[in-house]
Structure 1
Amino acid sequence: MAIGYTAGNLGLHAARRERRNLVLQLLLRYEAWLDARENAKALYRLDDRELADIGLSRADVAGLNVASWQDHLPTTFSR
């Protein structure tokens, strides 16, 4: 009888762990998205001369935004 309970508890524990990992992954992706968004906003606030000083153009900034959201797509939809 104790063996049945132990096997059931192990299965439940593994499901909880997977759920926690999924939530953690979602939170980390959200945090990365917020960081990328804040960085893009800071770059868009710079004028063309300031962007040239750091070796970027407006097209480079727009390209960074395209790459950032596509990196979070599932592998079947990503580049």
Structure 2
Amino acid sequence: ISGTNAHVILEEPPADDEDDLLDPPACDADGTATGPLPLVISARGGAALRAQAERMLTFLAERPEVPLADIGHSLATTRAS
């Protein structure tokens, strides 16, 4: 058995402003998103994912007054238990 040793020094990554990650996307004065806007949906399988997407499409069609930035922010930062 040899006496080889290895050493690793681990450090924390540079601190990011974590609050920026939870802020809604940038919007114009009227609430219109000014860039790409993800609408995050998930499900256990393909059929369930398609059903979730259909429900999202219906929700969006029935509520055109709700800013997409608000919906995208809520979908990305909240989750039902």
**If the length of structure 1 is used for normalisation, what is the TM-score?**
0.30
**If the length of structure 2 is used for normalisation, what is the TM-score?**
0.29
Structure with greater helix share of residues = 1
